[in-house]
Structure 1
Amino acid sequence: MKKLAVAAVITVMAVGAFTGCSGSGADIGRDAALEAALNDAGVSESDTSRLKVSEDSDDGRKIYEISFDANQTEYDYEIQASDGSILSAETEQIQNAGTADNGTQNSADQGQTTAQDSSQADSGTSQSQQNSQTAEPAVSIDEATRIALDRVEGAAESDIRIELDRDDGRMMYEGDIIYNQIEYDFKIDANTGEVVEWSEERA
């Protein structure tokens, strides 16, 4: 009986030691996870902006969520922490603020043309639509960008995403800045330039 008991204790200790060893090697670390994502994207870290690496859990597995911009493309990765395998990879083309702004202007111009064309049928309605579409915010998107960037020392235009939107009938610039592993979300009043919402999230 003593021999059996000793054997059982040795077995338990061996399993514990093995589990401890395998557990200690179950995380490749942030740097290795980032390297796996960068290698897959074919870019170097120095060529990226808006870089963010955070940890999460998926079905009990530890994963690294990695996002960055490079070559006018936004990359989002999920990397398995245990072996560095890529669980998901998504890319999206980035539109410059100027391009997006021009697109909005073109859309507004088209809307104005449509309103003018239909004015013969209902001049009152078309005039109302035209006035609504031609309303310009007092603060330009460039000014709003500068207001936001001035709050994050060292951040550049490549670190920010911003767009004009309506919030409860109020024109707002909404966006985020990702710089030094911190994500800043904001809303700026498009008529006054007041920062009405500001939050920070560290990776």
Structure 2
Amino acid sequence: MKKKGLALAVAAGIMLALAGCSGQTVQENQNGGVQSGQTASGITGETARTLALQQAGVAEEDVLASGVKEDYDDGVSCYEVVFYTKDTDYEYKIDRTNGTLLESNKETFDFSWGTPQGAGITKEEAQNIIMEQVPGAKADNIRMKAEVENGRIVYEGEVIYENAKYEYEMDAQTGKLLEWSQGDLF
């Protein structure tokens, strides 16, 4: 009789343990909503991206490019999420185990400036030269500012297009590219 009771208790314990291993859990977030996309080992990269977009208040259709990679921050397993809109770059670190926001940064660009006095080519002409270097890119993909370096005006910035980042520096007198590099979003 004792063996039968012990066997029933062991069987019940195994069933309870297996019932808790469904592979996907649901957790309430700080706003009282339900957070899905969390597995027994933590949240997915796509869930981290969605959480970052929600935190930033950015709609999916406003994202020019984005990326997610696994990382460690002070020993905590996290996702680094980056995404770019027309005028702002965002970077988030989100805990992989529970979706907690660990860090966020954003950089907003002011594109209201005009062609600087003394420039040989206009801001718009410079954008067209850059778009020729990255077929398919539009003006919204280009970040540009004018600076004076060693007594001459240069346009410098980056192009965010199809999950790549291109950095450049251009002579504002001639339109000649002085520097050009291509890399990933991170």
TM bracket (short chain): 0.5 to 0.7
Moved more, 190-199 or 54-63: 54-63
Matched pairs, number = 148
TM-score using structure 1 length = 0.61
Asked if 1:189 is matched to 2:184, the reply is no
Instruction: Give the match's secondary structure for 2:52.
Output: helix
Asked if 1:164 is matched to 2:146, the reply is yes
Amino acid at match of 1:76: E
In 2, Cα distance between the equivalents of 1:77 and 1:198? Answer: 27
Q: List per-residue Cα deviations over 1:146-165 (Å, max 9, x = no partner).
A: 11122112221111110111
Q: CA RMSD in A?
A: 2.8
Equivalent residue number for residue 115 of structure 1: none
In 1, Cα distance between the equivalents of 2:128 and 2:44? Answer: 36
Equivalent residue number for residue 149 of structure 1: 131
Q: Say which one has the larger Rg.
A: 1
CA deviation after TM superposition for structure 1 residue 72, in Å: 5.3
Structure whose residues are more often helix by fraction: 1
Equivalent residue number for residue 114 of structure 1: none
| Structure 1 counterpart of 2:113, from 85, 100, 123 | 100
Higher relative contact order (CA 8 A, sep 6+): 1
For the Cα contact (< 8 Å) 2:64–2:141, is it kept in 1? yes
Structure whose residues are more often strand by fraction: 2
Asked if 1:176 is matched to 2:147, the reply is no
CA deviation after TM superposition for structure 1 residue 100, in Å: 2.3
CA deviation after TM superposition for structure 1 residue 176, in Å: 0.5
CA deviation after TM superposition for structure 1 residue 91, in Å: 4.2
Q: How does 1:1-203 map to 2 (within 5 A)?
A: 26=41, 28-70=43-85, 73-96=88-111, 99-101=112-114, 134=117, 136-203=118-185
Equivalent residue number for residue 33 of structure 2: none
CA deviation after TM superposition for structure 1 residue 172, in Å: 0.8
TM-score using structure 2 length = 0.66
Structure 2 residue runs of 5 or longer lacking an equivalent are 1-22, 24-38
Instruction: Give the match's secondary structure for 1:90.
Output: strand
For the Cα contact (< 8 Å) 1:51–1:179, is it kept in 2? no
In 2, Cα distance between the equivalents of 1:40 and 1:202? Answer: 24
Structure 1 residue runs of 5 or longer lacking an equivalent are 1-20, 106-133
Q: 1:80/1:137 Cα in 2 relative to 1: closer, same or farther (>3 Å)? A: same
